[in-house]
């Protein structure tokens, strides 16, 4: 492909409203343009990457017996009424009317349609299981689209749905898709992690997210360095920790009642404690207390959370533990009123509230806590002894980097940031029941199919690849999704001897199956072409110029390492092949 004919415009600066690196680079490299908020044109360069990733996805799914189909973007309201999602989906669902005033929506996902397809065709257990997928444009009318392709309103997604006779078979398929996804992202050539998104669930529905690791990722992830356990930091199990001061004699709560006038910060409070043995206390010798208000339906109640003061509360865990729909901190003024003292001195002792204590405090004693008296703290707090409405020790804190893995007990957690690009999810019978997607089992009884669903954000993944692979000069494409493999730059491309060598290299490489973008543009200085090549980020740059040709060589440059190899023009194909063998991430190992 001659660059002089390619639909592309590169920019020295990114548009002002491009706020993440992938969006800036894709716009500067002429891959995408914004048409409206969260809606982008995919220009030829971008589409080449998108198509390549789609093909990887397609191949791996078809290998596992999945069948591709294509469902409509525009969907009738009737289907969405059956699942009740017309009512519950909210304004993210873009609704529209046709000329007859009938209601339609743009599909944000396709559970209804695929369930409708299957219920019309599949009647017997003999036809199950079946796994269907499509690669198609979706529309979600996000309140606030941002981050370019990472959270657009219109995006391309692979969505797959499987149908089964029972839970066990749906589980089997779940893990098969899990493995297929691992192969897909491995072939893509990026660093990624499958992440447990709902760690505690037993049986029933469970789900994994696949994250591309990138410093700019929205989600914090903790991963054990010894076992497979990887989860969203919000959900990561935190280990209990031993009490580090077990050699101290157990003190009575009220014995050491110490003065902390006007000291609010946790660190300062702990430091303020002094007695014969202590000159200030470390944070893990102090406790802190939060008063939460929980709601479920119309019911509202309060719950107390006690933690080591160097730990952060995990409200998701507390919410799940006490079975609330949502929880929030009790407003400070109200908490002060309940405790009868000011913020900074509020403590759990004597408070008439159910108390949930983080398990890192199991066996702990001689802790500090607010004395519910302005200017005072207790030293000698022992939760299981001193809390009247003690509801036990539980995992209620945020796990953090360096904690011992709560699963295997051997490794420790490492922290990553990730971009969620895929999800495997066991749906159960939610849609099949609502929409009567049933089959006859061996006994002739009608049963709802058990469903799974499996998504990969295609365009988001391409953006995530860039978030993970770039430098100050531009994009660094991994081989499998690079728009072209080789960026052939001819300098002084109007000179016949250069053009002939360059054109020869281009056709040789193409004949050998490589995709070449040939910068044959006339009259541009070398610097311009090099800058463009770096920005566009093809894995290899092949430079043909008078300087090298004088010595009978052309130069092959690795975009990632910037390493330059001087080779004879006739060795170009062999050199590119060697490079591909060395760096191509394709393969399922």
The yes or no reply on residue 555 touching RNA (CB under 7 A) is yes
Yes or no: say if 412 and 403 are a contact pair by the CB < 8 Å rule: yes
Distance in Å, CB of 100 to RNA, minimum: 26
Yes or no: say if 44 and 71 are a contact pair by the CB < 8 Å rule: no
User: What are the DSSP E strand ranges found in 340-499?
Assistant: 354-358, 367-370, 376-381, 390-394, 413-428, 438-440, 446-448, 450-457, 470-471, 474-475, 486-490
The yes or no reply on residue 445 touching RNA (CB under 7 A) is no
Distance in Å, CB of 405 to RNA, minimum: 25
Q: Report the chain's terminal Cα–Cα distance, integer Å.
A: 33
Distance in Å, CB of 37 to RNA, minimum: 3
Distance in Å, CB of 307 to RNA, minimum: 21
Give all strands of the β-sheet with 287-296 in edge-to-edge order: 326-329, 287-296, 299-308, 354-358, 390-394
Residue 284 vs 519, nearer CB to RNA: 519
Yes or no: say if 465 and 212 are a contact pair by the CB < 8 Å rule: yes
Q: Hey, which residues between 510 and 549 contact RNA (CB under 7 A)?
A: 522-528, 530-535, 543, 545-549
The yes or no reply on residue 4 touching RNA (CB under 7 A) is no
Q: Hey, which residues between 197 and 236 contact RNA (CB under 7 A)?
A: none
Q: Hey, which residues between 46 and 105 contact RNA (CB under 7 A)?
A: 90, 92
Where helices occur in 351-394 by DSSP H, the ranges are: 383-386
Distance in Å, CB of 453 to RNA, minimum: 12
Residue 10 vs 373, nearer CB to RNA: 10
Point out which span in 7-15, 341-349, 379-387, 392-400 binds RNA (CB under 7 A). Answer: 7-15
Query: Per DSSP, what are the bridge partners of residue 293?
Result: 302, 328
Distance in Å, CB of 21 to RNA, minimum: 13
Point out which span in 78-86, 261-269, 490-498, 511-519 binds RNA (CB under 7 A). Answer: 490-498
Q: Tell how strand 154-164 and strand 130-139 pair up.
A: antiparallel
How far is the C-alpha of 115 from the C-alpha of 129, rounded, in Å? 13
How far is the C-alpha of 265 from the C-alpha of 274, rounded, in Å? 17
The yes or no reply on residue 38 touching RNA (CB under 7 A) is yes
From 4, 5, 19, 471, residue interacting with RNA (rule: CB under 7 A)? 19
Distance in Å, CB of 154 to RNA, minimum: 12
What's the token pair of residue 489? 């730059």
The yes or no reply on residue 500 touching RNA (CB under 7 A) is no
Yes or no: say if 377 and 342 are a contact pair by the CB < 8 Å rule: no
Yes or no: say if 456 and 57 are a contact pair by the CB < 8 Å rule: yes
Binding mask 262-301 for RNA (x = CB under 7 A): ----------------------------------------
Distance in Å, CB of 14 to RNA, minimum: 7
Q: Which value, in Å, is the radius of gyration of the alpha carbons in the chain?
A: 30
Binding mask 136-165 for RNA (x = CB under 7 A): -------xxxxx------------------
Residue 491 vs 538, nearer CB to RNA: 491
Yes or no: say if 470 and 20 are a contact pair by the CB < 8 Å rule: no
CA atoms within 13 A on the CB side of 249: 5
Residue 117 vs 220, nearer CB to RNA: 220
What's the token pair of residue 432? 């099949």
The yes or no reply on residue 11 touching RNA (CB under 7 A) is yes
Q: Hey, which residues between 350 and 389 contact RNA (CB under 7 A)?
A: none
The yes or no reply on residue 561 touching RNA (CB under 7 A) is no
Q: Where do contacts with RNA occur on this chain (CB under 7 A)?
A: 9-17, 19, 28, 34, 36-38, 90, 92, 143-147, 473, 491-492, 494, 522-528, 530-535, 543, 545-549, 555, 557, 564
């Amino acid at each position: 492909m001659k660059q002089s004919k390619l639909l592309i415009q590169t920019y020295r600066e990114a548009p002002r409203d491009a706020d993440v690196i992938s969006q800036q680079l894709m716009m500067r490299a002429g891959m995408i343009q914004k048409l409206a908020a969260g809606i982008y044109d995919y220009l030829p360069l971008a589409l080449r990457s998108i198509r390549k990733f789609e093909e990887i996805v397609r191949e791996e799914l078809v290998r596992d017996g999945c069948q591709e189909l294509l469902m409509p973007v525009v969907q009738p309201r009737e289907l969405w009424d059956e699942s009740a999602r017309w009512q519950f989906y909210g304004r993210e669902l873009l609704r529209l009317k046709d000329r007859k005033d009938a209601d339609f929506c743009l599909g944000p996902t396709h559970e209804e349609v695929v369930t409708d397809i299957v219920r019309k065709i599949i009647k017997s257990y003999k036809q199950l299981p079946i796994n269907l997928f499509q690669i198609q444009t979706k529309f979600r009318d996000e309140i606030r689209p941002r981050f370019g392709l990472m959270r657009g309103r219109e995006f391309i997604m692979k969505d797959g749905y499987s149908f089964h006779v029972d839970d066990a078979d749906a589980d089997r398929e779940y893990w098969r898709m899990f493995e297929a996804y691992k192969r897909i992202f491995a072939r893509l050539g990026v660093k990624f992690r499958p992440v447990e998104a709902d760690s505690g669930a037993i049986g029933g529905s469970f789900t994994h997210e696949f994250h591309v690791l990138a410093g700019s990722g929205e989600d914090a992830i903790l991963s054990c360095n010894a076992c497979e356990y990887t989860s969203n930091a919000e959900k990561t199990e935190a280990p209990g920790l031993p009490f580090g001061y077990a050699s101290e004699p157990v003190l009575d709560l009220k014995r050491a009642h110490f003065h902390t006038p006007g000291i609010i910060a946790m660190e300062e409070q702990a430091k303020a404690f002094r007695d014969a043995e202590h000159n200030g206390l470390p944070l893990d010798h102090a406790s802190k207390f939060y008063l939460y208000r929980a709601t479920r339906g119309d019911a509202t109640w309060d719950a107390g959370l006690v933690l080591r003061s160097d730990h952060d509360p995990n409200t998701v865990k507390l919410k799940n533990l006490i079975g609330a729909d949502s929880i929030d901190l009790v407003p400070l003024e109200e908490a002060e009123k309940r405790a009868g003292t000011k913020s900074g001195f509020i403590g759990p002792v004597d408070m008439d509230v159910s108390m949930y204590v983080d398990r890192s405090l199991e066996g702990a004693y001689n802790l500090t806590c607010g004395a519910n008296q302005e200017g005072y703290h207790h030293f000698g707090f022992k939760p299981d002894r001193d809390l009247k409405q003690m509801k036990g020790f539980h995992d209620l804190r945020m796990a953090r980097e360096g904690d011992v893995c709560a699963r295997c007990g051997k490794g420790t957690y490492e922290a990553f940031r990730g971009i969620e690009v895929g999800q495997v999810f066991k749906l159960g019978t939610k849609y099949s029941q609502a929409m009567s997607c049933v089959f006859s089992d061996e006994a002739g009884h009608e049963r709802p199919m058990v469903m799974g669903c499996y998504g990969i954000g295609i365009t988001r993944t391409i953006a995530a690849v860039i978030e993970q692979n770039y430098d100050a000069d531009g994009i660094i494409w991994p081989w499998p999704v690079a728009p072209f493999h080789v960026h052939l730059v001819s300098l002084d491309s109007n000179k016949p001897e250069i053009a002939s060598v360059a054109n020869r290299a281009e056709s040789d490489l193409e004949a050998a199956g490589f995709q070449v973008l040939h910068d044959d543009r006339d009259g541009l200085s070398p610097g311009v072409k090099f800058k463009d090549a770096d920005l566009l980020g093809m894995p290899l740059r092949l430079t043909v110029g008078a300087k090298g040709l004088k010595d009978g060589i052309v130069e092959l440059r690795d975009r990632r390492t910037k390493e330059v190899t001087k080779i004879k023009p006739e060795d170009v194909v062999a050199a590119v092949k060697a490079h591909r063998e060395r760096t191509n991430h394709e393969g399922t190992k």
